[in-house]
Amino acid sequence: MATTSPDNIWTPDAGDDYALTTDLAAMADTIQEALSDSKNYVPETNALRLARTGSDLFEGLVVWTTDTKILWRYTSGAWVRSLPGQPFAQAAGISPGGSGFITVSFPAGRFTQPPIVTAQIASGSGGAIGATILINGVTTNDFQIRSSVASLPMHWQAVQMTLSSAAG
């Protein structure tokens, strides 16, 4: 048998005795190893992920936890939950109009870091042309919102994309 590069997959060559069972078993093993080596994550249980130390724990390590079905990335000395293209947490609502800033509270425990908050004047609100919305003081628990037209209600949405700590 001969080896092909760069995958190190065994294949029969002209000088082989063509022991079919042996050749196919060797090919299957090396193909599986090549596929495993090409993954950009390590599949393991959450307990094994949390038990990693020393050289087994390095910047950029990505682990898929087979029991909890969560993708984690080790970065800046902490495990970060990685959900490409999906928010980790979100909340939305309508804030009534009023003079000055109005404090809006998020559902308890929803966010682990201050989310990104966006808002717009509620649709169907007459006189909304030229109205501006200010968002201030965003924390994990609440934020403040204000419209330049005090009588108009505002739709808001808060989104947190990643988990900020190793909890899990």
pLDDT band at 34 (very low <50, low <70, confident <90, very high): low
Q: What is the mean pLDDT of residues 57-72?
A: 84
Residue 3 has pLDDT above 90, yes or no: no
Residue 163 has pLDDT above 90, yes or no: no
Q: Which of 66-80, 81-95, 123-137 has the highest mean pLDDT?
A: 66-80
φ, ψ for residue 37, nearest 5 deg: -65, -25
Round to whole Å and give the CA distance between 117 and 159: 7
Domain boundaries, the chain: 2-37, 42-81, 90-158
Structure tokens at 73: 């990335």
Structure tokens at 130: 């030229």
Round to whole Å and give the CA distance between 139 and 111: 9
Q: Provide the pLDDT for residue 13.
A: 59
E-only strand ranges, 9-130: 9-11, 42-44, 62-65, 70-75, 78-81, 89-95, 102-105, 116-121
Structure tokens at 78: 């902490």
Query: Which helix or strand (DSSP H or E) is residue 46 part of?
Result: helix 46-51
Round to whole Å and give the CA distance between 87 and 112: 12
N-to-C CA span, the chain:
47
pLDDT band at 33 (very low <50, low <70, confident <90, very high): low
Q: Do 116 and 152 touch, CB atoms closer than 8 A? A: no
Q: Provide the pLDDT for residue 166.
A: 42
155: CB partners within 8 A, 6+ apart: 92, 93, 94, 119, 120, 121, 122, 123
Q: Do 147 and 97 touch, CB atoms closer than 8 A? A: yes
Q: What is the mean pLDDT of residues 59-70?
A: 84
Structure tokens at 22: 């042996």
Q: Which of 4-8, 29-33, 133-137 has the highest mean pLDDT?
A: 133-137
Structure tokens at 166: 């190793």
Q: Full-prediction pTM beyond 0.95?
A: no
Residue 86 has pLDDT above 60, yes or no: no
